[in-house]
Structures are given as structure tokens and as C-alpha cells.
């Protein structure tokens, strides 16, 4: 039951409006007089006082009889991208994922490169191809090696958590780790679809490009950080100690328990609490050179993988580079085939023993 009032945008009868999720319904925030603009942009940019005020009004509304006047069944609407993505950055902050990928892509070499423990590694992704849950993902084609061009044969997922920036920052002025909650409104689940064969041939020395940029899916509901206040837990101890501008005290991550479902079968449960670099450190790092934030910036955690095989956030790791197929509905499988559907869901501890269930992100592969 998704009842922590995440925010999104829906289309219905030719109009676009902001909404809050309430179980199998949404609350039409235009009808309720809470958010009357057709996008969340103005609200996201307004900052924490406005975020708190609107949330309090929403929490008040759901306790009143008048709520029913503003409810619309989810089945009657189309959910659209919840915000216009400004810049999109993707990090690489799971130690287990980085070690696994290092072993698979660079066998015989140290799996974690020397700089990895000193800064959260990241790259700039493609904002214009971030799509909402349910959008079909067309199998990319490209250079798969020196003599091979064609459709990707090793199409994969990456289970991640995305952070949505509301309040912009000034160019030239770094955002300190302590200002994280002043800029970041909330989180989405994110699937960073990855073409492993394209990626493996192109990624050195500048990093991911066409192996990633064809599609990134996010959940249609943004969970406000204020709904996750009970989910902060100590993040893994960092050794060696990090540079001063990356030192966050307290050093906290979010206890989001992700589930990866492939064609209806649960195949993995990545634990977000085990991420080595925290979202506050990621935000501080990406602005530490003076790069500014814009409303709608999206930064993703990087693939979430735990230490065990059934906790990994990619099929590259789940099948160890395709060498160890898993059995799915009676068939041995490695990477994604046309028609496959992957759904990411997540739960987190809520206040007073409750559970916060995040909005899911789903995508189905189609051939070209």
C-alpha cells in the first residue's frame, strides 16, 4: 500500500495536474487547491518551508471526510514523468557492485581502482532519455566490438535510487554535505538500462556513453525525504577517511530494501543501506568544483548491490557476466530478451513501525 503521499503528475481528460498517491487512488492537488500548477517545477524550486507546509496540509487532508471529493482512481489516469529532468548524473557508489564489475570486466587486475575510495565516481548521463515507468525500452543497436555492429546482445538493468533536486545553487558556490536536505526534495526508484556489449567496447578511457544513454526509467512517484525520516541508518565506515568537504557527520544512508522482479519472478533484493558513498556526499562532490544545481537535476546512486549473489542490482552480476545463467520460469537466462519486463520496488522503515512503500518502476524490452 503506497500511502506516504509521494508526489507525481498525471494526465486526464486533456489536462495535466499534480497529484499525491493515496493507495489505489491519487489526490488531485489542483482540485484540492494545494498545488494548482500543471507541473511540480515551482513547488520543487520553492524549498523546504513550502515542502513542509504542503505536506502538512496533505496529511491534514487525508484525515478529513472531504478527501473523497479529490480522489481519482489510478486506473483512470495516465501518469507522466513527475518532473522535467534538468541534468542527470549517475554515480557508482556500491563497493560490492564496483568490485564485481571490476572482476568481470578487468579479470586479473585489482577490482577497485585506487581513486574509488577517495571520491564518489560518476558520469553525466542523458537527461532527455529519462522516461517514466511503463515506457517501452527499445533494444539499442551499436558497435559491439571492432567488427560487430548490431542489436545489443547483453542488455541489462541497473537497480538504483535517484535523488531529485528542487532548490538550485549558485555557480561557483559548492553545496556542503550539511545542505543536502535544503536542496534535495525526494527520491525515485531508477533503472539505468545498460547495453553491456556496447559499454564494454566504448567505456575506456572516458566512461559510459551510448551503452547507457538510450533509456533510463524512473518511478512516477517522488517520495519526499520527509517521509523517510525513520529510514536513515549509519552508512558503512569509510577507510581511508575522506577529504574534508566529503566528510558528513552523521554519516547516514537510507535503509531502502529494493526488490528486482524479472517477468514476475523476484530475482534479487539489493540493500541500499550498504552504499559506500551517501547521497549527501554525492551532492557535495558534484558541486565541489563550483558546478551549480538546477531545479529538476537528477542524480542516481549507481547500481545497488549487496555482498551476496541474490542482493545484486544487475544481471551482469547475477549471472556473472553471462557465464552462470539463472533459471527463470523454467528457462536458463542471462541478459534481457525482447518482451521481458523488469520491475523495481522498495520498502523502507516508516515512523512508529510502519512501512514506507516506494512507487515502482517498470519497463518492458521491445525489439527494433
**156 is an interface residue for Ca ion by CB under 5 A:** no
Smaller CB separation from Ca ion, 158 or 340: 158
According to DSSP, residue 237 is labeled P
- Which residue stretch of 82-90, 216-224, 276-284, 307-315 sits at the interface with Ca ion (rule: CB under 5 A)? 82-90
- DSSP β-bridge partners for residue 140: none
Read off the C-alpha cell for 159.
537497480
Smaller CB separation from Ca ion, 2 or 190: 190
**192 is an interface residue for Ca ion by CB under 5 A:** yes
Query: What's the length of the chain?
Result: 368
Which string of x and - marks every residue 108-147 that binds Ca ion (by CB under 5 A)?
----------------------------------------
d(Cα 305, Cα 312) in Å, to the nearest integer? 4
Q: How far is the CB of 359 from Ca ion (least distance, A)?
A: 19
d(Cα 110, Cα 149) in Å, to the nearest integer? 31
Q: Which of 97, 118, 251, 285 is catalytic?
A: 97
Q: How far is the CB of 316 from Ca ion (least distance, A)?
A: 11
For residue 335, with 0-12 CB atoms within 10 Å meaning exposed, 13-18 middle and 19 or more buried, which class applies?
buried
Q: How far is the CB of 166 from Ca ion (least distance, A)?
A: 23
Answer for the pair 214, 140: CB distance below 8 angstroms, yes or no.
Answer: yes
Q: Around Cβ 32, how many Cβ atoms within 10 Å?
A: 20
**90 is an interface residue for Ca ion by CB under 5 A:** yes
**158 is an interface residue for Ca ion by CB under 5 A:** yes
Q: How far is the CB of 94 from Ca ion (least distance, A)?
A: 10
**317 is an interface residue for Ca ion by CB under 5 A:** no
d(Cα 260, Cα 77) in Å, to the nearest integer? 26
- Which residue stretch of 163-171, 192-200, 251-259, 272-280 sits at the interface with Ca ion (rule: CB under 5 A)? 192-200
Q: How far is the CB of 158 from Ca ion (least distance, A)?
A: 4
Smaller CB separation from Ca ion, 208 or 224: 208
Smaller CB separation from Ca ion, 158 or 197: 158
- DSSP β-bridge partners for residue 22: 25
- Which residue stretch of 153-161, 179-187, 222-230, 350-358 sits at the interface with Ca ion (rule: CB under 5 A)? 153-161
Nearest one of 24, 353, 31, 178 to 12, comparing CA atoms: 31
Residue whose CB is nearest to Ca ion in the complex, by number: 192
Angle (nearest 5°) at CA 45 between 354 and 218: 55
Backbone φ and ψ of 315, nearest 5°:
-75, -20
Active site residue 97: yes
3-state class of 37 per DSSP?
Answer: coil
Smaller CB separation from Ca ion, 4 or 97: 97
According to DSSP H, which parts of 138-260 are helical? 180-183, 196-202
Interface residue list for Ca ion (CB under 5 A): 90, 158, 192
The catalytic residues are 97
Amino acid at each position: 500500500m503506497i500511502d506516504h503521499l509521494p508526489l507525481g503528475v498525471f494526465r486526464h481528460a486533456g489536462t495535466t495536474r499534480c497529484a499525491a498517491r493515496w493507495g489505489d487512488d491519487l489526490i488531485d492537488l489542483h482540485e484540492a487547491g494545494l498545488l494548482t500548477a500543471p507541473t511540480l517545477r515551482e513547488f520543487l524550486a520553492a524549498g523546504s518551508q513550502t515542502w513542509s507546509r504542503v505536506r502538512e496540509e496533505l496529511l491534514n487532508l487525508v484525515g478529513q471526510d472531504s478527501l473523497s471529493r479529490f480522489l481519482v482512481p489510478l486506473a483512470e489516469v495516465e501518469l507522466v514523468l513527475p518532473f522535467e529532468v534538468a541534468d542527470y548524473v549517475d554515480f557508482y557508489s556500491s563497493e560490492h557492485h564496483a568490485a564485481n564489475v571490476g572482476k568481470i570486466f578487468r579479470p586479473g587486475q585489482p577490482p577497485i581502482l585506487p581513486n574509488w575510495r577517495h571520491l564518489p565516481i560518476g558520469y553525466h548521463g542523458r537527461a532527455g532519455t529519462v522516461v517514466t515507468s511503463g515506457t517501452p525500452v527499445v533494444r539499442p543497436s551499436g558497435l559491439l566490438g571492432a567488427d560487430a555492429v548490431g542489436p545489443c546482445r547483453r542488455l541489462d538493468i541497473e537497480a538504483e535510487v535517484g535523488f531529485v533536486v528542487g532548490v538550485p545553487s549558485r555557480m561557483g558556490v559548492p553545496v556542503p554535505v550539511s545542505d543536502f536536505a535544503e536542496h534535495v526534495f525526494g527520491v525515485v526508484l531508477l533503472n539505468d538500462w545498460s547495453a553491456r556489449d556496447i559499454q564494454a567496447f566504448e567505456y575506456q578511457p572516458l566512461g559510459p556513453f551510448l551503452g547507457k544513454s538510450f533509456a533510463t526509467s524512473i518511478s512516477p512517484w517522488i517520495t519526499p525525504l520527509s517521509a523517510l525520516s525513520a529510514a536513515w541508518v549509519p552508512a558503512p565506515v569509510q577507510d581511508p577517511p575522506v577529504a574534508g568537504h566529503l566528510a558528513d557527520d552523521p554519516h547516514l544512508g537510507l535503509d531502502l530494501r529494493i526488490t528486482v522482479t524479472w517477468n514476475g519472478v523476484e530475482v534479487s533484493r539489493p540493500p541500499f543501506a550498504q552504499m559506500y558513498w551517501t547521497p549527501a556526499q554525492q551532492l557535495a562532490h558534484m558541486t565541489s568544483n563550483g558546478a551549480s544545481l538546477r531545479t529538476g537535476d537528477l542524480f542516481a546512486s549507481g547500481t545497488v548491490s549487496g555482498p551476496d549473489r541474490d542482493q545484486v542490482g544487475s544481471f551482469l552480476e547475477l549471472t556473472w557476466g553471462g557465464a552462470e545463467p539463472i533459471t527463470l520460469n523454467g528457462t536458463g537466462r542471462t541478459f534481457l530478451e525482447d518482451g521481458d519486463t523488469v520491475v523495481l520496488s522498495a520498502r523502507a522503515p516508516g515512523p512508529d513501525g510502519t512501512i514506507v512503500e516506494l512507487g515502482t518502476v517498470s519497463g518492458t524490452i521491445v525489439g527494433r
